[in-house]
Amino acid sequence: MNILPELQPTLADLTERFGGRIEAVHVPRPNEVYFHAQMELVPGFCAQLYKKWNARLVSLFADDALAQDGAFHIYYVFALYAAHGFFILRVPVSPEQPKFISLTNALPAANWQEREIQDMFGLKLEGHPNPRRCALHDDWPEVHPLRKDFDLHTVLPPFKGERHKFREVEGEGVFQVPVGPVHAGIIEPGHFLFSVAGEPVLYLQIRLFYTHKGTEKLFENIPVTHGVRLAESISGDSSFAHATAFCHAVERAANVEAPPRARALRTVCLELERIYNHIADIGAIATDVAFVVANAHAMRLKERVLRLNEHLTGNRLLRGMASLGGVRFDWSADQIEAIRQFMTWLRPEFESLVGLISDSSSTRDRLETTGILKPETARDLGVVGIAGRASGFDHDVRRDFPHAAYEGLNFVVPVYEEGDVLHRMQVRIDEVHAALSIIEQVLARMPDSPTRVSVPTLPANRIALGYVEGWRGGILHWIRTAENGRLARCKIKDPSLQNWPALSEAILGNIIPDFPVVNKSFNLSYSGTDR
Amino acid sequence: MFDILLKSLTTGVVTTDYPRTPPQVSRQARGRPEIDFPNWTDARPAVAVCPTGALACADNDGMRNVTLDLGKCTFCGLCAEADPAIRMTNVCELAATRKSALITLAKYEIAPAGTHRKLLDHQPSILNPQPASVEAVGTELKASIGKAFGRSLHIREVDAGSCNGCEVEIVGLNSPVYDIERFGIHFVASPRHADMLLVTGPVSRNMELALRKTYDAMPAPRLVVAVGACGCSGGIFGQNYASLGGVDKVIPVDVYIPGCPPNPHALLHGILTAVGRL
């Protein structure tokens, strides 16, 4: 397979530098390049990609390949946004010496993902600054659920409820404030431990994975077609984006492309998902600084988007629409007209909502310079999506890795350097405008074609990466097929997983009463992280 | 300040009249599936495409028992796509006080090829109360809440491992469109202040203890409402090493609200159903 020309210089540099230590280069698709090597190459190879080529570590995961290769594999997925391709390093870990080198000190973005591998596969981390459990809580027995010898339906001994030991923060006048996992609002569960001196936060420890429900393991136990429905439940507010990322991965593995009309419909659905979530977040940010009227209007608009979703797909969260090889439902001329009318209605309504907020100086005062995430920190942590763009990272999977019908569309990717709550909100405002324009462009040249092509049953051991710019940021699904039309592995990467540690940084020096608004300005998915 | 008032005035009232008027759902919406049992020739193709096992069948001795469990159904409509005997309605008011009331049973005599020869028995689900009586529940509401809890009902919501889809819709109850506070119902921050626990998610192993503790912290009398396919049965996640498979595996449940996720009308219907029972 030919490699994308833009990726050639990086490939040449890596081959020159690491030569024979790269055992094989495998290019299943022009923008997806695999390098096979041994563990000792990992630090140097990753540093070269990150420092010289400005590639970002976007996913890090393991795969139990004992049956065919006698080893576990660890995959380091780097996105080269400017060159529009993914470079993926694969290294084996032998079951006799189940350990791997930590990259966290050099590349903090690896932190949680490495610890998750340690928990789920029982591969021991070496050189990690905080190698404690992460995905499986402290009371779990020594099990490694993503190993092939672990059965999905294993009944584990009852929960004993051992207490997690947080890091101590000591000093005169230092208090610890624990919050969660059950929160005061209607939100997902997670635990936050604040260490404060007076009002300012000195340190925030975030403990997640409360909603871990064995999703990745479950993917290995169901037919691929059912996987589409399961993907819709990875993160409910991103149902369509996750399901589409999953379909994209399967389609790429099968070398099938969804027909043009299906890609256009996917694009409209992805943008509708972005619009309703962004509007809800803008309202929620206003609520968290006590501007409740703005939220009431935002919720009114959100409700109308959900009703349009229902009219177009039969479900308010766009569930049931995604399908392998395209989409399930075509839209009639009436339905397309309903979208047009809705957009005509929404535009001034949204303008008016934004005006309400921007005209309120007291709201602006609370949002400006609150919860700053510095561009350098964002870069080290590999922060993507809204938070990444508000902290200077100019990227967008829709523009840099065109999927669905984004190729050739004209839209602006908002990028700011300030990194505060105000600018995370501004990114959302800009993106709603862009989304409206994208939908308009798609409707203006709606292609005529079937909305679905059949996807053949895949042979074993095909691998593929599917990607979508969800409203939070880039979503990646990586699959390896098994016999009998099932999957041997489905790695789900929600952008939240690598954005959460950034919240701990953004809140430093802010006061606890500002935490809700800072948290909301990130609005990360717990379920997408915990899976 | 004047602008804010002006905007509110020009916007006017957006709140639904539900339950006095029927739910405002699109004709395209997928709600309760309807099966033409007498003319159903074969359950197996639809069973094969059901992602949650909501539609299931078991053959034994020339007989086939078919179950349709709304507590497991995600209303994806794949069964209706595979089988012309199944049709998706847009009926969303499906809450029931007993889990068994969500289940429709049918028994067929089958031919050697596995097709249906004769419908022997058919027990439709007995949803309680029927949609027609919801209005009555609404009017009785004030009285029953008054009796048990003074003038208001306080709800604590717990996400016990949900995907956040149910939360997207529950948040909508506080919007001006559904405005749950018009019934004197409030969402509160602490279980100590709550009369009702609204629980979503299949109950992940990591949330089991937190859910139990939250329930224990509530004063009696208390109600528990399980929300969504996951809350009712584990939904698409079912039961596995990390998922317990439904709220009633951990605490007693008074009302089950099917849906994936249930829309705000369905949620209101379920909450009103729970209160009507008091």
Within a 13 Å sphere around the CA of A60, how many CA atoms are in the beta-carbon half?
A: 24
What's the Cα-to-Cα distance from A256 to each of A24, A112, A478, rounded to whole Å?
Answer: 26, 34, 16
- The average pLDDT across B184-213 equals 94
**Which of the 8 DSSP states describes residue A3?**
P
Q: Tell me, yes or no, if B236 comes closer than 8 A to chain A by beta carbon.
A: yes
Instruction: Using the 3D structure, point to which of B123, B153, B174 is the last residue of a domain.
Output: B123
**Which of the 8 DSSP states describes residue A511?**
B
Instruction: Using the 3D structure, point to which of B95, B123, B151 is the last residue of a domain.
Output: B123
**In sequence order, which residues have a C-beta less than 8 Å from that of residue A252 and are 6 or more positions away?**
A29, A32, A464, A465, A466
Chain A nearest CA to B218, separation (Å): 14
Split into its structural domains, chain B has a count of 2
Q: What is the mean pLDDT of chain B?
A: 89
Cβ neighbourhood burial of B13 (10 Å; 0-12, 13-18, 19+): exposed
**Which of the 8 DSSP states describes residue A176?**
E
pTM score = 0.94
B242 → closest Cβ in A212, A234, A239: A212
Chain A nearest CA to B118, separation (Å): 31
Q: Kindly state whether residue B22 falls inside one of the protein's structural domains.
A: no
B77 → closest Cβ in A239, A296, A320: A320
Q: Kindly state whether residue B9 falls inside one of the protein's structural domains.
A: no
Disruptive mutation site among B190, B206, B233 for chain A (greatest number of A CBs within 10 Å): B206
Task: List CB contacts (< 8 A) between B81 and chain A.
Answer: 328
Within a 13 Å sphere around the CA of A181, how many CA atoms are in the beta-carbon half?
A: 26
pLDDT of A139: 86
pLDDT of A56: 93
Q: Tell me, yes or no, if B163 comes closer than 8 A to chain A by beta carbon.
A: yes
pLDDT of A168: 85
pLDDT of A393: 94
Chain B nearest CA to A8, separation (Å): 41
Q: Quick check: helix, strand or coil at residue B236?
A: coil
User: Residue A236 and residue B165: Cβ atoms within 8 Å?
Assistant: yes
Domain borders along chain A are 5-126, 174-207, 215-530
User: Residue A299 and residue B208: Cβ atoms within 8 Å?
Assistant: no
Find the CATH number of the domain harbouring B187.
Answer: 3.40.50.12280
Task: Looking at the structure, tell me whether residues B207 and B270 fall in a common domain.
Answer: yes
pLDDT of B144: 58
**In sequence order, which residues have a C-beta less than 8 Å from that of residue A224 and are 6 or more positions away?**
A250, A324, A458, A485, A486, A487
Q: Kindly state whether residue B23 falls inside one of the protein's structural domains.
A: no
The confidence band for B277, taking pLDDT boundaries of 50, 70 and 90, is: very low
Query: What is the 3 state secondary structure string of B4-65?
Result: HHHHHHHHCCCCCCCCCCCCCCCCCCCCCEEECHHHCCCCHHHHHHCCCCCEEEEEECCEEE
Instruction: Using the 3D structure, point to which of B84, B106, B123 is the last residue of a domain.
Output: B123
Q: Tell me, yes or no, if B179 comes closer than 8 A to chain A by beta carbon.
A: no
pLDDT of A161: 61
Task: Looking at the structure, tell me whether residues B91 and B223 fall in a common domain.
Answer: no
Cα separation, A42 vs A47, in Å, equals 8
Chain B nearest CA to A308, separation (Å): 9
pLDDT of A169: 87
Question: What is the span of the domain harbouring residue B101?
Answer: 33-123
State the DSSP string of B139-160: HHHHHHHHHHHTT-EEEEEEES
Which residues of B, range 240-269, sit inside 8 Å of A by Cβ?
A: 240-243, 260-261, 263
A155-185 confidence digits (pLDDT tens) = 988 767 667 788 888 888 898 999 989 988 8
Q: Among the CATH numbers 3.30.460.80, 3.40.718.10, 1.20.1250.20, 1.20.1050.10, which is that of A5-126? A: 3.30.460.80
Q: What is the mean pLDDT of each successive set of 10 residues along chain A, which is 531 residues long? A: 90 92 94 95 94 93 94 96 95 95 92 94 94 89 94 85 79 88 91 91 93 96 95 96 97 95 96 97 94 94 96 96 96 95 96 93 92 93 95 94 90 95 96 96 94 93 95 96 92 94 94 92 95 92
Q: Tell me, yes or no, if B164 comes closer than 8 A to chain A by beta carbon.
A: yes
Is B128 a residue whose pLDDT tops 90?
no
User: Residue B204 and residue A213: Cβ atoms within 8 Å?
Assistant: yes
CATH topology of domain A215-530: Cytochrome-c3 Hydrogenase; chain B (1.10.645)
pLDDT of B278: 37
User: Residue B243 and residue A214: Cβ atoms within 8 Å?
Assistant: yes
Please report where in the chains the tokens 């007209």 appear, as a residue: A337
Is B135 a residue whose pLDDT tops 70?
no
Q: Quick check: A343 and A469 in contact, CB under 8 A?
A: no
